[in-house]
Amino acid sequence: MPLVTERREALSVAATVALGLAGLWARCAGFAQVLTPEGVLLKPTDSHYYVRFAQLQIEAFPRFVSFDPWVNFPEGARIIWPPVHTGWVALHELFTRANPEVGAAWAGVTASAIWLCLSAVALWRTFGARVTVLAMAVLALLPAMIESSALGNADHHVHEPYLALFVSLCIVRMAKRPGRGGAAVALGTVLAVSRLLTTGTILLLPCAALGLVACALLKREASGRLARDALIAGGVASTLSAVFALMWGEPFSLEPVALSGFLPAASVAVFGLVAAVLALRARAVPFAAAAALPALLALALVGRSLLSARAQLAGDDPLLKVVIESQPLWRVDWAYPSLLGSIGVIFPIAWLGLAMRAVQKRAAEALVFAATTLVLTAAFVAQLRFVQPLGGPLAVTFAIGSLYLMDSIAPVPRRIAWALITLALLALMPALRPREPFDPPTDEALVRSTMSWIRHHTPSPPDYAVVASHDVGHLLTLWAQRPNVASPFSQAPAHLRGNARAAAVLGATDDEAAYRAALDTGARYVLSVPFSVILGRDKSRDDETIARRLLDHAAMGEDGRPATAHFRLLHDSAEERLRVEKGPFARVFEVVPGAVIAGSAPPGAAVEATLKLRTNLGQGLTYRRATVAGPDGRFELRVAYPTRDSASEVRAEGPYALLMGGVPRTVDVPEEAVRAGARVDLSP
């Protein structure tokens, strides 16, 4: 028997190691999509900004720089991203200084490798071989977890499944050994350190609270000791998170998503209230009152911030209303099978098995993971992005719940159940197949050459910004190395204001209004690329916006609309749009005052100026502007293109052809007049 046991343990160890290696390979299977001949293509969108943010830290070391003047220009923005994960990305970039994107591409893979090893050891010590092997299969091969840590993904969400897992494991240890204090210190430490690794710590607090309360309901005799453990955990979490906020954040702010005083106060509130509830269950009323008083004061302090966080979750931010990860589960029919794969079929059944074990066997570990998974599943249903922290507890739920159900049934049904679970795990194996390069290419690949053009053909920053869709905001700061106005960042007021300023330009239906909005935000250039939405604008009116007109027609005066007087085409990308009509994928425009052609014509006569242009791709364009002479015969016509002295790639093929009441005439407009908004008077 000892020999058989040793062999089984050796097989379990081998299976655990093999699953970990398979998980790492699955995370690298998209190498052909990331490490392309044209350069590294990181996963959109935050990974691109992580490259820049890490570079800022390398340049500022040993200080941590959170303010970036290039984001949401001209205001700039304080970036709330976690400092330790940023340092992790920076460390990878130091190994590939010639091309920091190569190093950043591996940050998620290496982080997941460390987490998988730590998780395997912790699970083995807590639950033994059977649970560890099954849980590792999910941790290694669950589609959502592969995507969050895949090659090319440098984002901080890689840590969330494992942090949620370790929070639950700490509570299990507390339930098994109440009053010892060690697991409580570990829980507080994990919660505090989690904010250095990700921004999603706020969701771990209710998980910890519900897990502790559930344990007390299971073991009334341990409630008093668990209450003391809760105070220890809260004290450690609040103290450490306050120190971290002093070192790297804003200790006197209560912003929920920032590294601020919110987490220390929230830790006091949550764990104080939990300790009070547990103490009441143990009939220790004075202890409960002593714990509840500071908790209620802290809750009052963070109440407004909690309401703000609730508003953000409800979608008050225009960006959160449109990005897929902020949508509720029921609105995206493909999300559940895509994120959870075949495990999603068994997960609800496994959770029921876990709940049955908690009730029938009064098993603390089952109750803790049932409670944690319930909280995180509710969050996942509310917003898809919360599938990340769900992954860790889900793996243990799958393992314990499935094993309990199979151990509870007869041998024949048990074999059938094992076969079904084996099939579910085998259905995850396609993740190991190397993925083909993207065909057609991604938007990021199509816009890259234009970003390089902006970097090498526009003045050095930082005195101006480039207005573009929020989708390419991070690419502007990384590849074009120019400040953006709009970005994929959300929730913080500076990001909301920046995105609103960009939307005022791109969503304007009037040329003058778009020009004034561009001046107000300090934009000297507009990058026009295909877009799905202009934040805060009615999608049904997209065709009327300056963004659509510049992209489709360079606002040359199409469909009877007046041509632009302020947005001068400088460059068309060689990459074409993925539509039947084709056309340049990206176009760069300069924001100019426009020269004013002034002259005389018969009163009330129509005046039209026509200019033939040739783009850098050799395409011919016809630019038309028109006006009507006043009662005194005077007219002024503002134009965006010069006819001579131009250094632009888009050149005029001759002078402007004017028709003034049927009388033809030509006029040259110098470059300086267009840039300065000067008058070009027609001689009599």
On whether both 543 and 582 belong to a single domain, the answer is yes
Confidence of residue 223 (pLDDT cuts 50, 70, 90): confident
Confidence of residue 559 (pLDDT cuts 50, 70, 90): confident
**CA-CA distance, 261 to 497, in Å (whole number)?**
24
On whether both 540 and 611 belong to a single domain, the answer is no
On whether both 504 and 618 belong to a single domain, the answer is no
| CATH number of the structural domain spanning residue 585 | 3.40.50.12610
pLDDT in tens, 263-305: 999 999 999 999 999 999 888 889 999 999 999 999 988 887 7
Q: Which amino acid is at 535?
A: L
421's CB contacts (< 8 A; 6+ apart) are 134, 346, 402, 406
Last residue of a domain, one of 590, 620, 638: 590
Specify the pLDDT at position 439: 84
**CA-CA distance, 186 to 109, in Å (whole number)?**
25
On the question of pLDDT at 581 being above 80, the answer is no
Tokens of 141: 């091969």
On the question of pLDDT at 4 being above 80, the answer is no
On whether both 523 and 579 belong to a single domain, the answer is yes
Specify the pLDDT at position 311: 57
On whether both 531 and 605 belong to a single domain, the answer is no
- Tell me the average pLDDT across 630-642: 94
On whether both 448 and 560 belong to a single domain, the answer is yes
On whether both 626 and 527 belong to a single domain, the answer is no
Specify the pLDDT at position 3: 56
On whether both 452 and 554 belong to a single domain, the answer is yes
Give the three-state DSSP class for 39. strand
pLDDT in tens, 317-348: 788 888 888 899 999 999 999 999 999 999 99
Last residue of a domain, one of 555, 590, 625: 590
**CA-CA distance, 350 to 400, in Å (whole number)?**
8
Range of the domain at 571: 443-590
Element (H, E) at 600: strand 595-600
Residue 352 lies in a domain: no
Q: What is the average pLDDT score of the chain?
A: 92
Which of 20, 25, 18, 17 lies closest to 139, judged by CA?
A: 20
The domain tally of the chain equals 2
Tokens of 44: 């959109």
Cβ pair 548, 562 in contact under 8 A: no
Q: Which amino acid is at 312?
A: Q
Cβ pair 427, 341 in contact under 8 A: yes
- Give the phi and the psi of residue 87 in degrees, each rounded to 5: -65, -35
Residue 46 lies in a domain: no
What is the separation, in whole angstroms, between the first and last Cα of the chain?
A: 112
On whether both 448 and 493 belong to a single domain, the answer is yes
| CATH number of the structural domain spanning residue 619 | 2.60.40.3390
Residue 403 lies in a domain: no
- Give the phi and the psi of residue 68 in degrees, each rounded to 5: -125, 110
CA dihedral (667, 672, 674, 676) positive or negative: negative
Which of 470, 468, 425, 423 lies closest to 49, judged by CA?
A: 470
Last residue of a domain, one of 590, 620, 650: 590
On the question of pLDDT at 8 being above 70, the answer is yes
Residue 233 lies in a domain: no
On the question of pLDDT at 134 being above 60, the answer is yes
Buried b (16+ CB within 10 A) or exposed e, 456-485: eebeebeebbbbbbbbbbbbbbbbbbbbbb
Q: Is the pTM of this model over 0.75?
A: yes
Which of 496, 504, 505, 500 lies closest to 525, judged by CA?
A: 505
Residue 528 lies in a domain: yes
Strands (E), 429-554: 465-467, 523-528
Confidence of residue 5 (pLDDT cuts 50, 70, 90): low
- Tell me the average pLDDT across 523-550: 88
